[in-house]
Each structure stands twice: as C-alpha cells, then as structure tokens.
Structure 1
C-alpha cells in the first residue's frame, strides 16, 4: 500500500486538467501547485532514505505496478497536450493563453520528458519506443541519444552539455545546453553510423527519423488547428524542454570529475550529482531526485533508487531549487558555498 504514494506523480497533471478546463485564473493552478504548494508541503515533510534489502530490490524490480505507472503517462501527456490545443483554439485572453501554455509545458516536462528519461534507460524496444513517444510533443527526441550515449559518459566534465559550470547562471546554461545537446546528439549519431559502417542515409540514422517525426507532428497540428495554435504548440515544447534543462542545471551545477594521471576522467561516482531526499519531489518525479544513485548505476529502476551517504545534498527539494535557480544571485549565494565545500574551488 505504501507504494500507492507514486500516484502523486499524476497530481501535477490533474491540476493542469482542472485548471485548463476551468479557465480564468484557474489556468495558473499548476504553477501555484508546483512552485508554492509542493515547496511548502516539502518543508513540513520528513525526509526518508528508503534503503532496500537485496530481496526487496528483486521483488520491486519485477513488480509490474511500477512500470504501469510510467506507461499511463503516455495518454495523460497527449491528453493534456491536445486538450490544451483545443482550449487555446477558443481562448482570446492573453493571460489565459500564457497560463495554459505554462501548465501544459510543466506536465510535458514532468510526466513527459521525465518519464521518457526513465523508460529510455530500459533495454526493451517497447520501453524505448514509449520513451520517444513522450519526447515527441516536446520536440526533443534527440535527447534520447545524447542523454544515453553522451551525458551518462561525460557527466561532470566540460564535455557534457548538461553539466552547468560553476558560477554559470541558468539563462546562459539554457542557451549552451540546448544548442550543444542537439549538436552532440548528431555527433554521437554519426559516430554510431561509422562504427556500424552505415551511410548517412540509413535506417540506422535515428536523428533523421526524429527530425521527420517532429516535423510531421507539427504539420499534423497545423493542418488540424492552424498556424497560431501550431506556434502555441511550439512554445509549449520550448518551455517544456527549458524546464528539463533547468532540472539538469540543478542536478549537476558546478560538480566536476577529476582527471587521473593517465589523462582520463575518474569514473562517475555518487558525489558527481546533487541528491535530494525531499519526499514530495521524489515521489512526484519518480525518484529523479535520487540522481546520485541514478548516475552511479543508470540501469537501476526508479523504484529501487536509494540515497547514497556521501552524495552532495541539495538544501531544498527540486521544485524549490528550480524556483531559486531563476534568480541567479540567490542561487549563487546558496549553492556556491556548497559547491566549494565539495569541490574545493575556494582553494
């Protein structure tokens, strides 16, 4: 019964459905819930470490309940996406349009890209296909390649687009990460083609298919909803992947791996990612906040991720940390001393 707590992962989507359908000021319900209610609730909720025995891990790994929770996000994300487009089609108020776009975008990031990220680490073709389906409305399918074949290898190094540099503000990071992530995905794809001795025009060139799928998706929206709604859908996509990049910013800010005597980077360890045990953010984001353990063993499913003792800890949960990151001076004041403590930058 205690695992029913993960049903809370749908709570952001529920607020979006209610807010978008109710209209008026309610279109901002998702923002208030995510960045006001959850932070307040987290600050008054005890943190749990959730350590599992080997038998418990085996049992949880095989329990289909946890996978079902992930797959259910596909109709939820697409449902909210198209409900938003239909509502925008009949909405003239600027403040309502902004609220709908922001609400839908948050769901596309938390229940879309975030869940796609979890499924993208699975080995089955079905899971990986579902992962890409969740990236599609966000126009971020290339993330599948860069994240799995780039980020997890280069994390906490200058070669990783998703690792924010020490004293780099969020807005600078958005630009560098979005551009470099896309370019990195192409470099990785071309390398994979060379290794497998495939030509650029090949069924093995996933980046071409991702591009075609995303363009086709936009054409479908244009033919059914018109130009203005297509522009709104693009804005929803942009906000959703900027939300993802903000999470990346929080997860890896300022942390670097050391270079060994042979010129190679040390292996990825738990102290190369920021961890958070704040309960509400954990269960709402399918344990994404246990990011240190995720990078240490990326094959672990979300339901068995644990808190590792020597991992650097965020002082606040993800929703609060994301909110703080929008204000660079405040972010630097809170986080720079913690980075210096872990990385000895002060010396």
Structure 2
C-alpha cells in the first residue's frame, strides 16, 4: 500500500523541483526602469528642446506624482515573491547591484546639467524652480538608492551611499536610519515614525530636526564609549556634512572660474545657489514624505520589562504595486526590510500580517499632502488594524485627548 503513495510523493517532488528550476525574476530587466528618475533632468531638457515649452522643466513632479500612480493603477499588484531556494542566488547576482550603482553617475550628471542651465541665466525664475524640483526628485529618490546601499556590509557600497546623500545635505540619514530608526521604529521615541492624528506638515519639522539630533547624539555616544571627543572628522555626521560642503563649494568655485575665463557671461552665484538649496530641501522632503506613510500610527507594545516588543511585520505599512516596487527598489515591502535590513532589494518579499496601504507609495504621498483626505483614508485603517482599540496606536500627544474622545465608542469593552 505504501509504494503508490511513495510514487505520488516522488512525482510531486519532481514537479516542485522542476517548477523551481523554471522560476525567473519576471522583473529582472524592469529594474533598469529604476534609472528613469535619475535621468529626470535630461528628460525635462529633451522635452523643452523638442517643444519649446518651459513647463516641461517641472517634468519630475509629473513623473512621480502623476505618471507613476496612473501606471500603478493600470498594472496593479506585483504578487511575486522569490522562493527561498533562490534567495542566495539572487543576492549574489551582480546585475541587481549595477542597477543601483548606475543611478549615481546619472544623478550627478543631471545635477551638473542643471547647474549649467541655471548659471547660463537663460531660464526664467519659474522655469528654474521647476528644474530645481525635477533635480530634487532625482535627489530624493536617490536617497532611497542611498538607503539600499547604506544597509549593506560592503564598505564600498556604504561610501557610495554617502556620496548620493551629499547632494541633499542629508548625510546624517546614513547614521540615524541604520542605528536610530531601525532600533526605535514604531515607537513614540522615533522621529521618523509618524503618529496617529499628526499631519505631514506637523511631522516634517519634527522628523527633520529629530533625525539630525538623533544622528548627532548617536555619534556623540559612540565616541563617548571610546573615551574620545566627537569633534573629529571620524564623526560620520561631520564627515558627511563635509562631503556636501565640498560638493557645493566645488560647483560654485568651478562656475566662478568659468565666469572669469569668459565662458559664462553674466554668471552670478545667485543664479545657482538658491536653486541648489531648493533641490536639496525638495529631495529630503520627498524622503520624509515616504517616512510619514511607512509607519503612520503603528506602535510596538511595551513589555513588562519596560522594553518594546520586537519589530514585526505588523509595524510597517506595505504596498505591492509593481510600478512603484520597481522604481523604489521594493521599498514598499517594508516589513521584510525591517525584518532583514541587510537583505538586497531583489529578494524582499511581501509578508503575511503586514498592514497594506490602499495604493502605492507615490500615490499615498499625494494623499498625505491633503491632511483631511489622509485622515479619511488612513485613520479607519489604523483603527481596524488594532481591532477598534485606538489606545494601542502611536498617537500624537497633542491630539491624544481629542483622538480618544472621538474613537472611544469603537474601543472593545474589555479595554480600560
């Protein structure tokens, strides 16, 4: 009686093995599309040159906040997780690494092209601002590239991460994110975790200030443990900022030299400096908009020991829309990222138990910019996530009484 069963099991195992052998990453060559944001300046320049219409200098905003959400709707969810048997193979495939490495030269080529256009004085103020936001889109999504590289163990990738961050003067993100956010995620102490009832406009100054302060305190504590002063270029916050100073200083000195040589008639530092600031602020604002929606209202429980429970899939908002997955290196599979921070983007998986956003990250950023719409869409999802007990959420302290009064009727009767 056992022989036929063994035969069926063997046949089934052979089919499973054959299926695994045939498995391929269907997004393998789609990952090259992740380079589109790095070329946003050249896309805008090409459209302006082809049509003569200066409105195309704002192309970066259209790409991120109009085209990507539309494509997300049309293409729907990704739905493909790599089998465990292929994780190691995918991790070691250098093709995926080059998809991130190539972002960097394109990002900086776009910045230099924009600097030339600003310095030439041929653009109007509105056109220059549009170009600054387009460059900021490249820089902001570049921070996500830096995020991918900065989590890796290879020192060269960690340095590439710092280089990417120099454009937005946000090099301290490398410290705070890895050694701060990943420790305190989904707790009231984390400046990068948004709170229930907190609008993006309240979150932005708190997270910008808090992230900078956190990074500085982390480095200060590190040097304190070593018994040395943190006022040293070995301080990763200081050397990151120095890279930005060197970058912007080199650009301005180079432009001044070209002006003296007669190659930039009418050049003024004020043709360039304001827009360098705009692109940097726009870039790190794009990062913080993503931070805002990744952990909104989610909170880890406090254990009897006073420590927080371990971060689990339920502490990050996820989405699996395929277009944004490709352009953001699977950042939307955020629960797996927190569970496995050093895992490379191509192997991140959608995880059971992870709360899901109703749309992709790009779409939800637009929603977050309209607080009443955000609250209408997201507050009920946070409430449902905690089975009606809003006291379990990470609530904005300034809104706590109002929130509890509003949602008290939804709380389970057994809760105090």
Bucket of the pairwise TM-score, normalised by the shorter protein: over 0.9
Q: Do 1:292 and 1:308's aligned partners in 2 also have CA atoms closer than 8 Å? A: yes
Question: CA separation in 2, counterparts of 1:49 and 1:294?
Answer: 17
Corresponding pairs, count? 346
Q: Is residue 150–residue 157 contact of structure 2 (8 Å, CA) maintained in 1? A: yes
| TM norm structure 1 | 0.96
Q: Is the 8 A contact 2:39 2:138 kept in 1?
A: no
Within a 5 Å distance, the mapping from 1:93-104 to structure 2 comes to 93-104=124-135
Deviation of the 1:21 alpha carbon = 4.5
Equivalent position to 1:156, from 175, 179, 186: 186
Is residue 2:42 matched to residue 1:17? yes
Give the structure 2 partner of residue 107 of structure 1.
138
Q: CA deviation at 1:18?
A: 1.8
Give distance in 1, aligned partners of 2:144 and 2:123.
31
Preserved CA contact (<8 Å) 1:49 1:306: no
Conserved 8 A contact 1:268-1:295: yes
Displacement of 1:76 in angstroms is 0.9
Deviation string, structure 1 residues 200-251 (Cα, Å, up to 9, x no partner): 2345322222232222222223323353212211111111001100000011
SS in structure 2 of the partner of residue 138 of structure 1: coil
Q: How does 1:1-347 map to 2 (within 5 A)?
A: 2=26, 3-23=28-48, 24-90=54-120, 91-110=122-141, 112-225=142-255, 226-228=268-270, 229-343=272-386, 344-345=389-390, 346=407, 347=411
Q: Is the 1:246–1:322 Cα contact (8 Å) retained in structure 2?
A: yes
* Shift, 1:22, TM fit: 4.1
TM value normalised by structure 2: 0.80
Moved over 6 A (4+): none
Distance change in 2, residues 1:14/1:215 (3 Å): closer
Residue 5 of structure 2 corresponds to which residue in structure 1?
none
Is the contact made by 1:140 and 1:241 (CA closer than 8 Å) also made in structure 2?
A: yes
Cα RMSD (Å) of the superposition?
A: 1.4
8 Å contact 1:108–1:138 — kept in the other structure? yes
Report the 3-state secondary structure (helix = DSSP H, G, I; strand = E; otherwise coil) of the residue aligned with 2:29: helix
Which 5+ residue runs of structure 2 have no aligned equivalent? 1-24, 49-53, 256-267, 391-406, 412-416
Moved more, 193-202 or 5-14: 193-202
CA deviations over 1:230-289 (Å, ceiling 9, x no partner): 221111111100110000001111111110111110011111110000110001111111
CA contact (8 A) 2:129 2:275 kept: no
Report the Cα distance in structure 2 between the residues aligned to 1:86 and 1:152, rounded to whole angstroms.
Answer: 39
Q: Report if the CA contact (8 A) 2:166-2:241 is conserved.
A: no
State the structure with more CA Rg: 2
CA distance in structure 1 between the aligned counterparts of 2:334 and 2:296, rounded to whole angstroms: 12
- 1:174 and 1:198 map into 2 onto residues whose CA distance is 33
Equivalent residue of 1:44, what SS? helix
Of 3-12 and 119-128, more deviation after overlay is shown by 3-12
Where structure 1 has 5 or more consecutive residues not aligned to the other structure, the ranges are none
